[in-house]
Amino acid sequence: MKMHYGFPIIVGLGLFIGLLCLPFVIGKGITKEYKQPELKLPANEKECIESKEFMRREHMQLLNDWRDWALRDGKRIYTNHAGKEFTISLQNTCMKCHNNKADFCDKCHTDAGVSPYCWDCHIQPEGLK
């Protein structure tokens, strides 16, 4: 059976698949391998609220729980797995240690392509300009 419009269809399909794959080709060929961002960790502190792995994986969930606990349940003291207590506050706890948002939170987030909207309201340690 003869294929109607065979040529344009094949070319169109080829173009479509090519365009679809383009980002991957560019990603592999042009950009370099992914490197963990270099974070500026707090100078005088050794430990975070929870373990480093937990924080890496769960900090967004933790923050989400924190704000519900603080605002909705009125409970503003958090006890971590080691039994140490922290005041629940984004600005007054997290950011007191991580007082360089640009070289900590932002570095990771830029790489991961997330931009938490928290800073529309919460004041970053660097202050506002």
Partner 1 sequence: MKNNRRAFIKLAGIAAAGLALAPKAMASSGASPVKKNPAGITAKRWAMVIDSTKLHTKEDIAKLAEVCHSIHNVPHIEGNQNVKWIWGAPYAQAFPEQENPHLAEEVHEREYILLCNHCENPPCVRVCPTQATYKRPDGIVAMDYHRCIGCRYCMAGCPYGSRSFNWGEPREGLDLSKLNPEFPTRMRGVVEKCNFCVERLAVGKLPACVEASEGAIVFGDLSDPDSDVRKVLRERFTIRRKPAVGTEPGVYYII
Contact footprint for partner 1 (CB under 8 A): 65, 67, 69, 71-80, 87-88, 91-92, 117, 120-123, 125, 127-129
Nearest alpha carbon to residue 88 among 117, 114, 68: 68
Calculate the alpha carbon distances from 84 to 60, 63, 80 in Å.
20, 17, 5
**Residues 28-67 as x/- pattern, contact with ligand HEC by CB under 6 A:** -----------x-xx--xxxxx--x--xx--xx-xx--xx
Under the criterion CB under 6 A, does residue 70 sit at the interface with ligand HEC?
yes
Which residue from 93, 99, 124, 125 is in contact with ligand HEC, where contact means CB under 6 A? 93
Token pair for 79? 């006890």
Question: Which of ligand HEC, partner 1, none binds 127 (CB below 5-8 Å, type-dependent)?
Answer: partner 1
Sign of torsion, CA 37 42 43 49?
negative
